[in-house]
């Protein structure tokens, strides 16, 4: 997990999410279509 890119906001808890697909405009985009194993991004933890 690259900590240098972590969102730095006090009081918020963030988690690093990795998933084999993302949904954009109602369509699934698979990471394998782009030569990746997964898309990874920062997201706020649900409360």
Report yes or no on 35 lying in a domain: yes
* Residue 28, domain member (yes or no): yes
Structurally, how many domains does the chain consist of?
A: 1
User: Would you say residue 44 lies in a domain?
Assistant: no
Cβ(30)–Cβ(21) below 8 Å: yes
3 found inside a domain: no
Residue 46, pLDDT score: 76
**pTM: predicted TM-score of the whole model, two decimal places:** 0.64
Task: Name the percent of the chain in helix, strand, coil, to the closest 5.
Answer: 15, 45, 45
Q: How many CB atoms lie within 10 A of CB 30?
A: 13
- Domain for residue 2, yes or no? no
pLDDT in tens, 1-47: 555 566 665 556 888 899 999 999 999 999 999 999 999 988 888 77
For residue 30, the enclosing domain spans 12-39
């Amino acid at each position: 997990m690259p900590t240098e890119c972590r969102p730095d906001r006090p009081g918020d808890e963030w988690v690093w999410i990795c998933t084999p697909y993302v949904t954009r405009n109602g369509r699934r985009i698979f990471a394998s279509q782009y030569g990746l194993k997964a898309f990874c991004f920062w997201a706020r933890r649900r409360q």
